[in-house]
Amino acid sequence: MAEVSGKKWVLMVTAQTPTNIAVIKYWGKRDEKLILPINDSISVTLDPSHLCTTTTVAVSPDFTHDRMWLNGKEIPLSGGRYQNCLRELRARASEVEDEEKSSSAAGFACLVFSLAKPKNVKEDQSKLSSIARQGSGSACRSLYGGFVKWIMGKEKNGSDSVAVQLADEKHWNDLVIIIAVVSLRQNETSSTSGMLETVETSMLIQHRAKEVVPKRIIQMEEAIKNRGFPSFARLSCADSNQFHAVCLDTSPPIFYMNDTSHRIISCVEKWNRFEGTPQVAYTFDAGPKAVLISHNRKTAALLLQRLLFHFPPNSDTDLNSYW
Ligand code: DP6
């Protein structure tokens, strides 16, 4: 880095972050600023070769200020969350810089290198997970593959509110996840404002966070450890349904699912009941799209067959775009 100081340079790194789907939901914060949740949550991380977010970071001493583009469109960075993340990243960058007794190179460049090639992976992962949390709560679970638990923590400063890996991506790799995009319309209520309204107005959310979720977390961890699909599926469906129940219990009520979402639930419930044991689990987040988790490739193929039977594409649909 000493060689490049004083000369014009731009450093670029591209990173891919996987998407995670919560099977025990995070809904409600006890601290809005630090993004600290009112209950633990558990998610499954999707294979990044199928679905992920790609971000390129460029740093240069010639850049005068921070800028960001999302899907090709420049977006303002004035929001508190971006500022919090950037502040944390800069602090992290100067830590790395100090450690390495580096010369005058920009802190961000060190950060980029440290992200690309972490020295102490464990320490870096939990630090990065806490920075990600301050951008968006559920994002902190995406720092790990496989099954991840976001521990709510007790500390006021959020130091113990971290994501931990429960099992890696190889542990239960015959699960197949199908995402049914029910509507392309943007949600009317964002997760952030929705959960704030729920915490302020719902009584059911208190019961959920204090009584229901702690027990479910223990059962879900057990189901994941033993690869027990029936228990995993029952808990996932029940938790998704309770999350939407607390949304309905919010004043004014929040509707994330639509008629198609409800039809998908009925279809899966009927099939599972007919077979006598769950074949597929469903879970819905803050929108109508269905995330369907099947036990293996065979049940995934049967599920697709059922979905196409109940929701056939229009005759003019290009099948390549449909999938
Ligand atoms: C329904 O992480 O988007 O997907 O922390 O305010 O950014 P903020 O909310 P966000 O909420 C996700 C809610 C959820 C459930 C989950 O992923 O656990």
Q: Model confidence over 201-254: pLDDT tens digits?
A: 999 999 999 999 999 999 999 999 999 999 999 999 999 999 999 999 999 999
Amino acid at 228: G
Amino acid at 8: K
Report how far ligand 1's centroid is from the alpha carbon of 37 (Å).
10
Output the CA torsion sign for 26, 30, 32, 35. Answer: negative
CB 41 less than 6 A from any atom of ligand 1 = yes
Containing domain of residue 186, as a range?
176-310
Boundary-marking domain end, from 167, 198, 231:
167
Q: Which atom of ligand 1 is nearest to the CA of 20?
A: 17
Do 186 and 158 belong together in one domain? no
Q: Among 79-93, 110-124, 262-276, 280-294, which stretch is predicted with the lowest mean pLDDT?
A: 110-124
Residue 300: CATH number of its domain: 3.30.70.890
Q: Which atom of ligand 1 is nearest to the CA of 37?
A: 5
Do 227 and 303 belong together in one domain? yes
Asked if the structure places residue 316 within a domain, the reply is no
What's residue 322's pLDDT? 65
Please state, in angstroms and as integers, the Cα–Cα distance from residue 264 to each residue in 5, 42, 246, 272, following that order: 58, 23, 20, 12
Could you give the count of Cα atoms lying within 13 Å of 65 in the half-sphere of its Cβ? 5
Do 186 and 134 belong together in one domain? no
Do 108 and 224 belong together in one domain? no
165 forms beta bridges with: 148
Tokens 């939407």, residue located: 244
DSSP H/E element including 43 = strand 41-45
CB 40 less than 6 A from any atom of ligand 1 = no
Boundary-marking domain end, from 111, 138, 167:
167
User: What does the block give as tokens for 223?
Assistant: 């189901």
Tokens 């469109």, residue located: 73
Minimal-distance CA residue to ligand 1 atom 12:
138
What's residue 17's pLDDT? 81
Tokens 């639509």, residue located: 258
How many helices (H) and strands (E) are present in the chain, helices listed first?
A: 10, 13
Domains held by the chain: number: 2
- The dihedral over CA atoms of 38, 40, 45, 51, expressed in degrees to the nearest 10, equals -10
User: Mind listing the pLDDT tens digit for each residue in 240-262?
Assistant: 999 999 999 999 999 999 999 99
Tokens 């109940």, residue located: 310
Report how far ligand 1's centroid is from the alpha carbon of 192 (Å).
7
Do 158 and 181 belong together in one domain? no
CB 284 less than 6 A from any atom of ligand 1 = no
Separation CA 234–CA 237 (nearest Å):
5
